[in-house]
Amino acid sequence: MSSSKTSSSTVRKAAEHLSRADTATVEPPSKRPRSSHPIGIRPLGNLLIDGGRNCRDAGLGMLKPLSDFAVCTVFEHLTCVELGRVARVSRSFYVFANHEELWMQRVTDDFRDGFQYHKDWRCTWLTMTHRKGVNSVAPASVRVPSFYSDWLFQRFHCASVPLKRRWLCTETIDRRDAAALSVGDSIREYETPNVPVIIRGVVDRWPAYGKWSREHLLKRAGHVKFTAGPVDMSLRDFFAYADANEDDNPLFIFDPKFADRAPFMADDYTPPQYFAEDMFALLPQRPNFRWLLIGNRRSGSKWHVDPNATSAWNGVIRGAKKWFMLPPGHVPPGVSPSRGGAEVTQPVSLVEWLLNFYDATQQADYGGVRPLEATVCAGELLFIPRGWWHAVLNLEDDTFAITQNFVSPRGLRATAKFLRFKPEQVSGVSEGRHAGLWMELEEALRTHRPELLADLSTGWQTDGTAAKAESARVDVSVNGEGAVDGRGGGDGGSSGGVVSVHPKLLAMFGTS
């Protein structure tokens, strides 16, 4: 297999990102790392250096034996007015009552139709509530000395730490020029073996590539509401939030209905010829299949596997994205899916995962599979094979992308098995369609692609026992961002009914 070398322009762009890494002064003013926690919280280890006393315990009373996480869990049950009241009890209560995660949850719960961000999440709730005629909690800004907590400090640290050079410098995903890559070559070299590839010369031909800027989008759709995590907010309000927030895991737009909300956006891109065949397109009403992504630097997606055993492509229109990818069957370190797939435990942010787990994957004695990595720049498109774990970090403000999931004839068997034997984990469809989506697809294939249906049925056991056992190796569940977290199974053989191990994969990762 031939793979073209990274172009000089790609090297130049990667160098630009590396020059920013580990350098605080090149950050935008609103995103420069802060030197100290706004309330004064310090890491627990500093207590030994300072030689003082932690005021945490003295101010918690009967809550003293609880962990910091448990205390915050108790405070989650308080109303905003009650949080304002308990903040006056002691310095410790003040610290916990002002924990940003608590107030972010209040804002996103109370203002799902949008909000205007103001300074921080607590001030945002106060501002939004005051406009509704309620002003029960007085704003305050007090620094608390001698309060030490690793758990409470971690969020601030992950939001403030400069991106490390070592996180950005690795490029291990093939890059190919569209002019020299035929559809047949793409199928043979990448889709069939189920390995990722970056393709140049596709996105830069889209109208969006030359037109989309913040100014252009605000002019055309500034008032339009898009989905950003748990809320729908206008594009204008989103950009204001994106510029001002200091979150460790910032919200970003991930909207499956953007083509309905802003039709001009759908007219500004064309799905690449390499992935034009989509069996879901045969359905009268297909599951959610395309998303608009807009985010600033440090936003992005935590580790997940795409829904319904589909493959995907992601085209970067503006900005740049750093990708980390692991093949089916290799769960990232620090990520713990439950056996049934209903829960996936992982660090709160991708930066936290990088701080705690990335370096271990780069050690010579690391026993697992090292992630494939690449920085995908504006004008480039990444193919994400079905079943692959991936995580993404935006490297620039105003990073815009379109992503689309699809089911090609090569991936049909994996998706069909998933729909048939894991209906409770089907996503992207309205309530009541989960169990019947396989039958809808079967009927569509019978009408439009009967040859594929015949081939699909070959070898399937009538009782479905083997297929159920195979499908059970890959468990998925929807996470808070609308993507799908998953668990790959298998240890060198079949990977959970999602993909068979191709010789190219064995060459890339070995048999361990």
Residue 468, judged by CB atoms within 10 A of its CB (0-12, 13-18, 19+), counts as middle
Q: Is residue 52 part of a domain?
A: yes
Cα separation, 376 vs 300, whole angstroms: 13
Give yes or no for residue 378 having a pLDDT over 70.
Answer: yes
Cβ(496)–Cβ(470) below 8 Å: yes
12, two tokens: 């130049």
Q: Is residue 199 part of a domain?
A: yes
Question: Are 304 and 327 in the same domain?
Answer: yes
Question: Are 125 and 251 in the same domain?
Answer: no
Q: Assign 48 a pLDDT band (cuts: 50, 70, 90).
A: confident
Read off the CATH number of the domain in which 297 is found. 2.60.120.650
Q: Assign 13 a pLDDT band (cuts: 50, 70, 90).
A: low
Question: Are 139 and 217 in the same domain?
Answer: no
> What does DSSP assign to residue 202?
S
Report the relative pairing of strands 197-200 and 175-177 from DSSP bridges. Answer: parallel
Residue 476's pLDDT is what?
Answer: 38
Average pLDDT for 2-27: 49
- Please provide the average confidence, as pLDDT, over all residues in the chain: 85
Three-point CA angle 94, 97, 103, nearest 5°: 140
* Residue that is written with structure tokens 């397109």 in the block: 281
Cβ(227)–Cβ(198) below 8 Å: no
Question: Are 107 and 169 in the same domain?
Answer: no
8, two tokens: 């000089």
Give yes or no for residue 368 having a pLDDT over 60.
Answer: yes
Domain boundaries, position 94: 34-160
Report the Cα 511 to chain-centroid distance in Å.
28
| Neighbouring-strand partners of residue 196 | none
Q: Assign 351 a pLDDT band (cuts: 50, 70, 90).
A: very high
- Among the candidates 411, 437, 469, a domain finishes at 411
- Among the candidates 378, 411, 444, a domain finishes at 411
Tens of pLDDT, residues 187-200: 999 999 999 999 99
Q: Report the domain count for the chain.
A: 2
Question: Are 286 and 401 in the same domain?
Answer: yes
Residue 18's pLDDT is what?
Answer: 53
Q: Is residue 289 part of a domain?
A: yes
Cα separation, 280 vs 284, whole angstroms: 9
- Which amino acid, one-letter code, is at 366? Y
Q: How far is CA 386 from CA 131, 188, 190, 412, 456, in A?
A: 47, 15, 11, 11, 17
Residues contacting residue 163 through CB under 8 Å, at least 6 positions apart: 20, 21, 22, 298, 351, 393, 395
* Exposure string for 308-341, b = 16+ CB within 10 A, e = fewer: bbbbbbbbbbbbbbbbbbbbbbbbbbbbebeeeb
Question: Are 74 and 185 in the same domain?
Answer: no
Question: Are 201 and 304 in the same domain?
Answer: yes
Cα separation, 311 vs 305, whole angstroms: 10
Residue 422's pLDDT is what?
Answer: 87
Give yes or no for residue 45 having a pLDDT over 80.
Answer: yes
Question: Are 245 and 357 in the same domain?
Answer: yes
277, two tokens: 């065949």
Worst-scoring range by mean pLDDT, 205-219, 281-295, 389-403, 463-477?
463-477
Tens of pLDDT, residues 135-148: 544 445 789 999 99
- Among the candidates 384, 411, 438, a domain finishes at 411
Cβ(445)–Cβ(452) below 8 Å: yes
Distance between start and end Cα atoms, the chain:
22
Report the Cα 418 to chain-centroid distance in Å.
22
Q: Which of 256, 210, 225 is nearest to 403 (CA)?
A: 256
Three-point CA angle 403, 405, 411, nearest 5°: 145
Report the Cα 200 to chain-centroid distance in Å.
23
Sheet holding 175-177, edge to edge: 175-177, 197-200, 380-384, 311-318, 399-406, 290-295, 253-255, 225-228, 231-234
